[in-house]
Structure 1
Amino acid sequence: MRNSSFLLSASISARFSVLLVAGLLALGIATHAQAEGAGTAESGTLRTFEQASERALGSVFEFIEPVTERGIEGVFAFLDAQQWVFILLALAIGYPLGRLKFGPISLGSTASTLLVAVVISMTAQIAFNMTYAIPGIVATIFLSLFMYALGLGVGPKFFAGLKSGGLAAIVCGVIIWALNWVICVGGAHLVGLESGFAAGLISGSYTITAVLGVAESAVQSGSATVPPGMTADEIGANMAAGYAVSYILSSVGIILLMRYLPAMFGHDPAADAKKAEDAFAGSGTHPLPGTPHAFLLGYMPFDIRAYKVENENLVGKSVNELFEAHPQAPILRVERDGQVIDALNNPTIRKGDIVTVRADVHDMILHGNEVGPEVDDPVARDITIESADIAVSSSEIAGKTIEELARTSLAYGLRLIAIFRAGQEIPIGPQTDIRVGDVVRLTGPDSCIERAGKALGSRVITEQTLATTEVMYMAIAMVVGFIAGTLSVTIAGIPFALGTSAGCLLAGIIVAYLRSRNPQFGGPVSEGARSFLQDIGLNVFVAVLGANTGPKIISALGGDTVIWLALIGTIAALLPVVVAFFVADKFFKLNSVINAGACAGGRNSTPSLNAVLEQSKSQVAAVPFPVSYAITTVLALVGGYIAQILS
């Protein structure tokens, strides 16, 4: 009775609120119309506005009618009809829920969004017999965006990481797959589960839906015999039940496990991620081109100061003449009688001019008074210094040393920060030669940088350039990656394919890898845009996953079977990962964050990788992910096929 009264009052309150808002809206429209009509004395205007308000109110009531007429049930019906609202609601609740701490533990945005989506869809199924089904294309689109963005983040470090940890990543993947298969098949046999459950457990605990397909094909082709007293449809139902129960438990469990796995073994994921980044970057100390913080100036020993010229030795000489004599202290601006003269115009210095100099702070403190007294002139010092990456394309520049170029107009007003060759930072010295294909990082006034870009023969890439994202290149790269992922080879009746999500991941890796060698490649992609795609892509994917998986769990609940499915599926999802991490940690001495990334790939769990990325505050864990991901995808498909034959 209380529930009925609550629902009735809630429904009445909701309807009253809507009527109140609608009434105020109509009143506002009518009042506005009357004011307009008073000025023109045209009653037709008032009628027009009244008709418009009636249509607007009708649209409002039609849109929210399920809620106002059916109360709480109407809310769930509304979410069923408006699937995008369901996704947004799961995100809106999941994100703050993921930040809540229960002691030292927090779910994180991905696990919490998945849980919220599952709870909403299960409630709709249990309470109102509503089955949510969001089209799979939505999940495919957002997962592809996530994987491509992830590839962009990890690309420059990927191949360096393969050299140092590729074998360990493969071993992690094989260990996880082998233990998972033994636990699922052996556990199903020990507790007496019927045919089909083992394959479903493998598919769910490994979160690879394709395993159901190959196991089903084993039954349909006759490779797996149907036990007496059972039908092929019953085996398929068992597969679906094993998959549904183990899938949701393993999906949430592996995210939580991977979030804290390095810390469980006594490692600091953030510190280890920094060590891995330094190791993969080689001997360089500056971020590679096309990576986050590439243009962060940070601490620099150079400063801009203004002096009033009183030294007679400087009077009568041009700016270029002074640069040739003192290249370490270029004049960037000349101010004369309140007028600013650009140094690129090569003016002749006069006594009393205010000159702006950019040089080492130490040198200016010791020798600045040789020019004249330092002045506090905001106009003279109002020069924006920016950082830029420029690829060397000019054959006239190639082959010359830094020492040779230092006194030319190319170097005027600029400081050389780093040189990158074949994706690696190289040591800088006076005799370091410049080659075609090198990427030089310069700092200085924008006018000087633009001039250097023309001399080097390439487009200048700055932080401002990256303020926009080139969608065309992203779309082309994702198309190529998606198509590559759909290509499959069938061996012994088992289809093998890279997978569309892995294809988009590799496309992102390749684009980022090539951009580290030439920052012009692939168009500009801001780090903010890349990070947003990575974040929203994965969490929309898991929201759709939760909506579609929740109702399937309901059908599998009942009897002792569901308990065994939950127990075996959870153990198979988590225990192999712990064992693989232990082996790589103790025997391979693998960096804990790289180890966790390899284990996430070995478990074929993209959401768990995101948990590692969040905890380590770095993208480096994604380096070994594709290696173990690819090998275990193939092994899991083969294992599912064999498991069904043996059952």
Structure 2
Amino acid sequence: MEWLSTLLNGPGIAHDLILVSLVIAIGIQLGKIKIFGVSLGVTMVLFFGIFLSHFGYIMDPKILHFLKEFGLILFVYSVGLQVGPGFFSSFKKGGLTLNGIAVGIVCLGVLLTIGFKFLTGLNMSTMVGILSGAVTNTPGLGAAGQAFEDMHGTGDPTISLGYAVAYPLGVIGIILTMILLRVVFRINFKKEQERLDADAQNDSREVSAASFKITNPALFEKTVAEMHGLIEDCKFVISRYMDVAADKISTVHGDTTLHEGDRLFVIADPEALDVVRNFVGEEVKMDRKQWIPTESQLVSKFITVTNGKVNGKRIGALQLRQVYGVNVTRVSRNGVDMVAEPSLPILVGDRLLVVGSEAALPKVEEMIGNSEKELHAPNLMGIFLGIAIGVLFGSIPMMIPGIPQPVKLGLAGGPLVIAILLSRFGYRYKLVTYTTHSANLMLREIGISIFLACVGLGAGEGFVETIIGGGWRWIGYGFVITVVPLIIMGIIALKLLKVNYFTLMGLLAGSMTDPPALAFANTVAPNDAPAVGYATVYPLTMFMRVLTAQVLVLFFC
């Protein structure tokens, strides 16, 4: 059995692979254990790695360094792909207010970190580790470590130690803040739900449908193309047309002629529907089934875009109306419905609602794809090309006034920025960046697990000594950094900005990029508002956490 002892305790690639695999497997299993309803999840991989390395189980430093950085890149890049499509749209309308609150939480945490650095005399690298743990943000930890290593040529183990010490109370502090705000402000769940329902009815971002009778003489004997020209600033789609005299329903073409008293079935957002109503004539009450007559072969069907050749093409450029006689009335992307205006580009993974004859729809499917098998195939070229560009971009030195040496986004910031940009604009360069949710989640979890395992295995030596030697105070610093910004901005959100409490819970969890806190909010709320709030602020918060961690290290180290 000497070979087994050598394999488990000696040097070598096999030893390192077994060690990191066991840390991940056992750590993930330990992370499922709940204490008072709260579990640490994948973060237990870090603590189990610290535990094993404390007792002398270590990896080859070069292999550990490579795996740690590669795991971090996989994680942040997959996060960027996930949040990229909604990153820019999250600044619109109500999302601007929610993101403003989240930015306030981030900035207050940074200010407290700087304050503790001067009050306690701790190195900023240590304080950034405490900050990353307090706000439960692992990419920030990786970004800080990378920035420090780029500057000094060697790492600082106190960054990882600070993170590990502050993380547990970081998770608990977020949940305690949610409970505290609910008690102090005497939140009534029934009233909050009523407010949420009222807001949902007035939400102008949803796509709606309505039927109209043509009574405006300006439209009599005009074509549909001419109608669009008369109200060109209004985004709407005419799904179907009813010729009252002939008692016939058909799809609409640009040369379809409009007559007095005929009916139009229009798809648009509520604001655009008001414009159409004022221009076309009176709205009539017609059930949607009335727009599908029994003698007609007109049907509607969702078709998923899976053909990479049409990725990024505008709906008008596909000429579906002219070639197949069908209409695309709406596009569903990442759970959001959009009006299918001709200038809207479609992306792989979009779901198009197509209206036309039964004979035409199979031909449209052949053109668009609609192949689940093809959609689920991994798009590795796009992923690794994006990673390569991200690493290159993160390595570009940039001069910032006040910093003596060039600043780099590093192996964390570069891939994150490029993933966000490619997932949003990659179609313009014929690049397919779509990955299924399960594939993205797998990539993300593998990356973060490898990263945390390596961080733990590299930080275990001296962990206990650090806590005994005064590191226990770091727990208090981290707890203050966690709860104070949340309480201050939570009060502002509830009292001044009148943010719904259910949405606020998701916002607080998203501002800390903390899934366990979101899981708690979801169990408390009788709706999906926490998840919506979390998703709204998560992209910008993740970007700011990574960026501020690096900036603090570069300015103060």
TM-score after normalising by structure 2: 0.62
Give the match for residue 437 of structure 1.
Answer: 345
Please tell me whether the aligned partners of residues 316 and 342 of structure 2 are also in contact (alpha carbons under 8 angstroms).
Answer: no
Q: Does 1:640 align with 2:543?
A: no
Cα shift readout 1:537-593 (whole Å, capped 9, x = no counterpart): 1122111111111114256465xxx23x321x2223231231212222221446436
* Structure 1 CA distance for aligned equivalents of residues 202 and 458 of structure 2: 42
What secondary structure sits across from 1:100 in the alignment? coil
Equivalent AA in structure 2 for residue 144 of structure 1:
I
1:468 Cα shift? 0.4
Give the match for residue 198 of structure 1.
Answer: 123
1:276 Cα shift? 12
* Structure 1 CA distance for aligned equivalents of residues 90 and 39 of structure 2: 30
Cα shift readout 1:256-297 (whole Å, capped 9, x = no counterpart): 5457754554499xx9999999999933489xxxxxxxxxxx
Give the match for residue 364 of structure 2.
Answer: 452
Please tell me whether the aligned partners of residues 597 and 609 of structure 1 are also in contact (alpha carbons under 8 angstroms).
Answer: yes
Give the match for residue 306 of structure 1.
Answer: none
Q: Does 1:566 align with 2:472?
A: yes
Q: Does 1:111 align with 2:43?
A: yes
**Cα 1:514–1:112 shift into 2, 3 Å:** same
Cα shift readout 1:476-525 (whole Å, capped 9, x = no counterpart): 1121122222223344425422232122222222222236x789742542
Q: Does 1:178 align with 2:111?
A: yes
Please tell me whether the aligned partners of residues 244 and 549 of structure 1 are also in contact (alpha carbons under 8 angstroms).
Answer: yes
What secondary structure sits across from 1:106 in the alignment? coil
**Cα 1:139–1:262 shift into 2, 3 Å:** farther
* Structure 2 CA distance for aligned equivalents of residues 635 and 584 of structure 1: 23
1:105 Cα shift? 2.0
Please tell me whether the aligned partners of residues 585 and 592 of structure 1 are also in contact (alpha carbons under 8 angstroms).
Answer: yes
Corresponding residue to 2:491 among 569, 586, 595: 586
What secondary structure sits across from 1:441 in the alignment? strand
Give the match for residue 121 of structure 1.
Answer: 53
Give the match for residue 536 of structure 1.
Answer: 446
Give the match for residue 503 of structure 1.
Answer: 414
Please tell me whether the aligned partners of residues 198 and 242 of structure 1 are also in contact (alpha carbons under 8 angstroms).
Answer: no
Q: Does 1:99 align with 2:13?
A: no
Please tell me whether the aligned partners of residues 83 and 539 of structure 2 are also in contact (alpha carbons under 8 angstroms).
Answer: yes
Q: After the TM superposition, which residues 29-48 of structure 1 pair with which residues of structure 2 at under 5 Å, given as runs?
A: none
Give the match for residue 307 of structure 1.
Answer: none
Give the match for residue 378 of structure 2.
Answer: 469
Q: Does 1:628 align with 2:544?
A: yes
Give the match for residue 145 of structure 1.
Answer: 74
What secondary structure sits across from 1:525 in the alignment? coil
TM-score after normalising by structure 1: 0.55
* Structure 2 CA distance for aligned equivalents of residues 141 and 276 of structure 1: 44
* Structure 2 CA distance for aligned equivalents of residues 505 and 217 of structure 1: 18
Please tell me whether the aligned partners of residues 477 and 507 of structure 1 are also in contact (alpha carbons under 8 angstroms).
Answer: yes
Equivalent AA in structure 1 for residue 472 of structure 2:
A
Corresponding residue to 2:396 among 487, 490, 498: 487
* Structure 2 CA distance for aligned equivalents of residues 281 and 416 of structure 1: 21
Q: Does 1:514 align with 2:425?
A: yes
1:213 Cα shift? 9.3
Give the match for residue 507 of structure 2.
Answer: 595
1:187 Cα shift? 2.7
Give the match for residue 249 of structure 1.
Answer: 165
Please tell me whether the aligned partners of residues 394 and 410 of structure 2 are also in contact (alpha carbons under 8 angstroms).
Answer: yes
1:178 Cα shift? 1.1
Cα shift readout 1:299-330 (whole Å, capped 9, x = no counterpart): xxxxxxxxxxxxxxxxxxxxxxxxx96659xx
What secondary structure sits across from 1:112 in the alignment? helix
* Structure 2 CA distance for aligned equivalents of residues 506 and 280 of structure 1: 31
Please tell me whether the aligned partners of residues 111 and 252 of structure 1 are also in contact (alpha carbons under 8 angstroms).
Answer: no
Cα shift readout 1:5-55 (whole Å, capped 9, x = no counterpart): xxxxxxxxxx5xxxxxxxxxxxxxxxxxxxxxxxxxxxxxxxxxxxxxxxx
What secondary structure sits across from 1:418 in the alignment? strand
* Structure 2 CA distance for aligned equivalents of residues 477 and 584 of structure 1: 36
Q: After the TM superposition, which residues 168-567 of structure 1 pair with which residues of structure 2 at under 5 Å, given as runs?
A: 168-188=101-121, 197-207=122-132, 208=141, 242-243=158-159, 245-258=161-174, 262=178, 265-266=181-182, 282-284=205-207, 327=250, 387-389=303-305, 393=314, 405=321, 410-411=324-325, 416=328, 418-419=330-331, 425-427=337-339, 434-435=342-343, 437=345, 441-442=352-353, 448-449=360-361, 451-452=363-364, 459-460=368-369, 462-490=371-399, 491=401, 492-514=403-425, 521-554=431-464, 556=466, 562-563=469-470, 565-567=471-473
